[in-house]
Amino acid sequence: MLMFRLAAAAAVFVLSAGAGSAQVTPQAAMPWLTAHQGMTPELVTEGEDAFIRVQDESLTWLLFFYGCESAGCDSLQFGAGFTNDSITQDSVNTWNRDRRFLKAYFEAGDEGSAIVQYDVVPTTGAPIGHLDDHLELWRAALVDFAAHVAYFEPAQPAAE
């Protein structure tokens, strides 16, 4: 079964790579992010470096690009920061112990602060849409982290 999945994934990659879609770059990421409901991206440039600030419903997060050349960027990092009195080193350690994918870092100060990050290595030559699953994982886990550090209360299911 695993071999079938790998073969199917390879076939999809070969078909989509030849489709002429945009490579993973900050410029290609802008329309890709805009196409997802509830997100407003803003391209920020600092010298030769660029990142994207995303307003995603009630959360703001950043998408950083590393190792960029004309063929695209070789890695990405999703990141967000939170500050409030309820963030403690123990709450961040609990998150890291109990959860995968997003890693959090505690920063001491007057109020507790935490930075949460998710790193991705895109497939060389693949269109940016191949990152859809990573984006959805990031968005869902970010909401979970925001609730974990009491940034906001998670949405409750509607009463029937």
Write out the DSSP string of 100-130: -S-EEEEE-SSSEEEEEEEEE-PPTT--GGG
Q: What is the pLDDT of residues 93-107, one digit of tens each?
A: 999 999 989 999 998
| pTM beyond 0.75, yes or no | yes
Query: What pLDDT, on the 0 to 100 scale, is given for residue 106?
Result: 94
Structural fold of domain 22-148: Yope Regulator; Chain: A, (3.30.1460)
Query: What pLDDT, on the 0 to 100 scale, is given for residue 126?
Result: 82
Q: What is the pLDDT of residues 25-76, one digit of tens each?
A: 999 999 999 998 879 999 999 888 899 999 998 899 999 999 988 888 999 9
Amino acid at 34: T
User: Would you kindly state where each structural domain of the chain is located, as residue ranges?
Assistant: 22-148
Q: Of the candidates 43, 50, 51, 21, which has an alpha carbon nearest to the alpha carbon of residue 132?
A: 21
Query: What pLDDT, on the 0 to 100 scale, is given for residue 108?
Result: 78
Give CA angle at 117 (99, 138), nearest 5°: 70
The pLDDT confidence band at residue 19, using thresholds 50, 70 and 90, is: very low
Query: What pLDDT, on the 0 to 100 scale, is given for residue 80?
Result: 97
Query: What pLDDT, on the 0 to 100 scale, is given for residue 150?
Result: 87
Q: Helix, strand, or coil here: 63?
A: strand
- Neighbour-count burial of 95, counting CB atoms closer than 10 A to its CB (0-12 exposed, 13-18 middle, 19+ buried): buried
Q: What is the pLDDT of residues 104-122, one digit of tens each?
A: 999 877 678 999 999 999 9
Residues 6+ apart with CB under 8 A from 22: 28, 32, 127, 128
Query: What pLDDT, on the 0 to 100 scale, is given for residue 157?
Result: 55
